[in-house]
Amino acid sequence: MKLATWNINSIRARADRALDVLQRHDLDVLALQEIKCKPEQFPVEEFEAAGYEVAAHGLNQWNGVAIVSRVGVEGVRHEFGGQPGFTKGAPADGLYLPGEPEARAIGATCGAAPGTSGAAGGVEVWSLYVPNGRAVGDPHYHYKLAWLDALKQRAAERIAEDPQAKIALVGDWNVIPTDADVWDVTATGGLYLSQPERDAFFAFEEAGFVEVSRPRATNYTFWDYQQLRFPKNQGMRIDYVYASPALAERVSAVEIDRDERKGKGASDHVPVIVDFDL
C-alpha cells in the first residue's frame, strides 16, 4: 500500500494538484488535512472519476480532514475516542475551555479484503490535523497537549486490544521534534518545539508506535508563504507518519515530495509518502 499524508490548505483550491499527486505517485491512499470545506463541498466527483473514494469530515471553512482511497474506506469515524474539543472564552482551570470536537480527525480501514478483520483486515488510517497551539501558554496550547495525550491514550488502547493491528496515524502534527527539523529554532517563538510538545509527540513511541518517515527522508515538509521561505529553504518538518508495530515493520520506502511546493498555487506543505509491503 502506498500511502501519503498532505496538508493541502484547501481542497477546492488545489483539487487539480491532489489529483496529480495521486496519479504521479500511483497512490493507494491519500490522507488530507485542512481541506477547509464541508463534505458536501468537497469535489468528490473529480476523484471518483479517477477511481478513488472519498471520506471527508469538515464543519466549516476551517480545519477539515479527509481520506481518499482506491482500496476502500470502511468503518469511517469522525473522531477518535476521548477526542477533546475547544471553545473560545475564559479557560477552565487556567488551561482551556472544552467544547465539541473539531474536524481534526478522520479514520477508516483501507485495503481490507472482503470478510477480513484484525491483522488481515487492511490498514486503519487516521488523517490528523493536530491543533496549532497559537503560542506557548495560550489556552489553545493546552488544548493541543490535551488533544495529543488523548490520541496517544487511544492509540495505546488499540495496540493493547490487537497487537497485530496495522494502524497509521498520519498528518500535520504541528510539532518540531528536534532542532534539526527546523531551519532556525528561534523562528517560531518557542511554539512547536517546546518540551511539553516534544514530550507529547514522542509519547507515541512509549505507546508502541514508530515514526517511520524521519529515519528515511530528510527534507522539510512546510515552508511559510512569507519572506521567500521556500526559495531560501527556510522550512520546518511537522508532517509525520506514526505506524503501529505490525505496520512499521512493513515499510519499504519513504519520500517527501519537495517539488510539490513549487509553482503557482502550491500548498505551504508537501506530501509525505510511505510504501508499505503488505
Q: Of 172, 181, 239, 257, which residue is the catalytic one?
A: 172
Q: Is 219 marked as binding a ligand?
A: no
Q: E-strand spans in 130-233?
A: 167-172, 210-211
Q: Is 269 marked as binding a ligand?
A: yes
129 catalytic per annotation: yes
Long-range contacts of 78-85 (CB under 8 A, 24+ apart): 78/103, 78/105, 78/106, 79/105, 80/105, 80/107, 80/126, 80/150, 80/151, 80/154, 81/154, 81/157, 82/150, 82/153, 82/154, 83/147, 83/150, 83/151, 84/143, 84/146, 84/147, 84/150
How far apart, in Å, are the Cα atoms of 226 and each of 147, 223, 230?
29, 9, 9
* Phi, psi at 29, each rounded to 5°: -140, 135
143 catalytic per annotation: no
Predicted pLDDT at 268: 98
Q: Is 268 marked as binding a ligand?
A: yes
Q: Is 7 marked as binding a ligand?
A: yes
Q: Of 52, 129, 141, 143, which residue is the catalytic one?
A: 129
269 catalytic per annotation: yes
Q: pLDDT tens string for the chain (278 positions)?
A: 999 999 999 999 999 999 999 999 999 999 999 999 999 999 999 999 999 999 999 998 899 999 999 999 999 999 999 999 999 998 988 899 999 999 999 999 999 876 555 445 799 999 999 999 999 999 999 999 999 999 999 999 999 999 999 999 999 999 999 999 999 999 999 999 999 999 999 999 999 999 999 999 999 999 999 999 999 999 999 999 999 999 999 999 999 999 999 999 999 999 999 999 99
In this predicted model, what pLDDT tens digit does every residue of 37-90 receive, in sequence order? 999 999 999 999 999 999 999 998 899 999 999 999 999 999 999 999 999 998
Q: Is 60 marked as binding a ligand?
A: no
d(CA 198, CA 21): 30
> Which pTM was predicted?
0.97
Spell out the domains of the chain, with CATH numbers in brackets: 2-276 (3.60.10.10)
